[in-house]
Structure 1
């Protein structure tokens, strides 16, 4: 399991886990370990930003929601199957394309390449992904909620 978070003027460490992810692992080994909430609070102020995540069970458990709502504003509920409206999904897609060119031959090599890519992400790329939200939302509206894959 690979986890990372991005935001305006911030990026988390890339977290790689070789275990099953449940609520407790998500809170302890991902949210707390990444310090993403603390970083965002320092950058933007407490409750002056919105945490967005997908609908994975550990993300939407009562315990996770309770934990997050004490620390940040939470975009909840998030529509299922909506990768077009999540900037990090676009970043994962960019990473996928770059991985195709590198062709890692084992797990260790794969992780090394992922970390190299993550560490090379520019502020310009993050800003473009995040600032593209308004355009993507309008495209989804124009397409009556259908995917904008290939349109953006």
Structure 2
């Protein structure tokens, strides 16, 4: 019963109404009225004390000393698992606390057991170069970033059997059609080069062999100027990472001869590049369609790449000012992007 009904029930009872009458008027079960009024007889309730009195509750499974030890241990070693923490604070005793108790105690201090995020391994030099880049581009607007043609290489794979897949099914449907996960013994991997800008996806070029300075030179000859002019205008900036094949004398000479200005990219900075986010989405979309052959893999990858569209790339490039600010805040360290 809420406080209003408790007050009404007590007033009606004091006015001479029966429990049955009170239950009918308030549309509350008689057993509830009876329990409430029974407490009134044992310990008279005043209008000011209708609320529940504090209850002792279940005793804590850990002592204050154990709580302090647990807090210090988690702060010292964030990778320690809950079962190890339980053994540690129990001191080898027979009374072990549960994983759930460990998690509840940690939550009281704002600490939660979560999957550890992966970030690039950054040296001091990497951090400084990332910070310098962010500082140099912190005032760039969306229009400034729209002049950049982003590029990179990645790969996709036939099949979607990359780890466990969860599915809703009945007990007797374990082996039913549509409820199993098809597997491929030898997965075919396709490597590709692609570009993008705020205006939309650029070319997606299949890389048949390993990426070398020669093969990369041919890719740029075929796609770079066409993609950059179409997506960014004739005075576009070209972004590429620091892969050895990108930095050869031949490639640098080609860019200089064509009058293409390169945006000097800091090392180990995939979180700065919006095309990395496109790769992640592309791989998921291709895996969902589970291409069974290399031809299907190429066809589906090309379809999904084109379907990403300009709305998505516009949103990604719009995030670049925030990425630069996040890098500044992190002092050149890794960001959530």
TM-score by length of 1: 0.84
Does 2:334 match 1:144?
A: no
Deviations 1:25-44 (A, max 9, x none): 1111x11222x323423554
Say if 1:23 and 1:64, in contact at 8 Å, map to a contact too.
yes
Q: Which moved further from structure 2: 133-142 or 10-19?
A: 10-19
Which residue number corresponds to residue 209 of structure 2? 19
Q: Specify whether residues 80 and 43 from structure 1 end up closer, same or farther in structure 2 by C-alpha distance, changes over 3 A only.
A: closer
**Structure-2 residue corresponding to 1:37:** 225
After superposing on structure 2, the runs of 4+ consecutive aligned residues of structure 1 that deviate more than 3 Å are 41-46
TM-score, normalization by structure 2: 0.40
Contact 2:192 2:206 in 1 (8 A): yes
Give the secondary-structure state (helix, strand or coil) at the position aligned to 1:19: coil
Distance 2:240 2:252 in 1: 11
Gaps of 5+ in 2: 1-190
1:74-113 paired onto structure 2 within 5 Å? 74-76=262-264, 78-113=265-300
Distance 1:86 1:43 in 2: 17
Q: 2:256 aligns with which of 69, 72, 79?
A: 69
Summarize the Cα distance change of 1:10–1:65 in structure 2 as closer, same or farther, 3 Å threshold.
Answer: farther
Structure 1, unmatched stretches of 5+, are none
Q: Distance in 2 between matches of 1:42 and 1:117?
A: 20
Structure ID, larger Rg? 2
Question: Superposition RMSD on alpha carbons, in Å?
Answer: 1.9
- By how many angstroms is 1:146 displaced? 2.3
Shift, 1:4, TM fit: 0.7
Change (3 A) 1:56 1:110: same
**Secondary structure at the residue paired with 2:254?**
helix
Q: For 1:41 and 1:95, how far apart are their aligned partners in 2?
A: 24
